Chains A and B, each alone.
Chain A
Amino acid sequence: DVKVTQSSRYLVKRTGEKVFLECVQDMDHENMFWYRQDPGLGLRLIYFSYDVKMKEKGDIPEGYSVSREKKERFSLILESASTNQTSMYLCASRWGHQETQYFGPGTRLLVL
């Protein structure tokens, strides 16, 4: 079974802190994705990566950056956390462009 893990289930940070959200997949998937999920807005794509050291902006990249140094790991970075970044963050991975995306359990981030 594909496994996508996220470093934390819950995280509380203060405004202005630098925040790292880590995602690891164990199936040698090429593509990895970061979404945020907010009530009434569904899933919104922040960034995705189709290979090591490659990244593409999604629909809402502002205030975020990403890092993919190894194939299995995709990190989402909030350079200076703000209260409007309080959200549920979901990581996903897949192999190829027609294959299923597999999701991690999510990280619920609260920025105070």
Chain B
Amino acid sequence: GEDVEQSLFLSVREGDSSVINCTYTDSSSTYLYWYKQEPGAGLQLLTYIFSNMDMKQDQRLTVLLNKKDKHLSLRIADTQTGDSAIYFCAESKNSGNTPLVFGKGTRLSVIA
């Protein structure tokens, strides 16, 4: 099965909070990442969390990590139309030079 899973679509109203969820399978992952991809562009790192943390907050972004359930979430407060993008969850395998493992991405649509 997939190493990293996320739902494909999310639609929210402007000003509401968005919560994007992700599950991963490798309990030895040391870092977990959220990337944002705007239309026609590459992936931009939004934030990351080290596996010994439960929560990380950065302005409108809150990352929650439940290591027991291997569940990661990204909350965007006061969602704006500029937040419309694809959001990718990724995990870092703690072994050698292996690449990050990405989910398929969640397309967030913000309705004005």
Spell out A's residues near B (CB within 8 Å): 4, 30-31, 33, 40-43, 45, 48, 50, 56, 58, 90, 92, 97-98, 100-106, 108
Pick the contact of B95: A50, A97, A103 (CB < 8 A): A97
If A98-B30, A103-B44 touch, whether A31 touches B97 (CB-CB below 8 Å) is yes
Pick the contact of A98: B35, B41, B94, B102 (CB < 8 A): B94
State in angstroms the CA–CA spacing of A33 and B43 once bound together: 13
- Residues of chain B lying within 8 A (CB to CB) of residue A98: 30-31, 92, 94
Instruction: List B residues 69-112 near A (Cβ within 8 Å).
Output: 88, 90, 92-100, 102-105
- Residues of chain B lying within 8 A (CB to CB) of residue A97: 92-98
Interface status of B45 (Cβ within 8 A of chain A)? yes
Pick the contact of A101: B94, B95, B96, B100 (CB < 8 A): B100
- Residues of chain A lying within 8 A (CB to CB) of residue B104: 40-42
CB distance from B89 to the nearest CB of A (A): 10
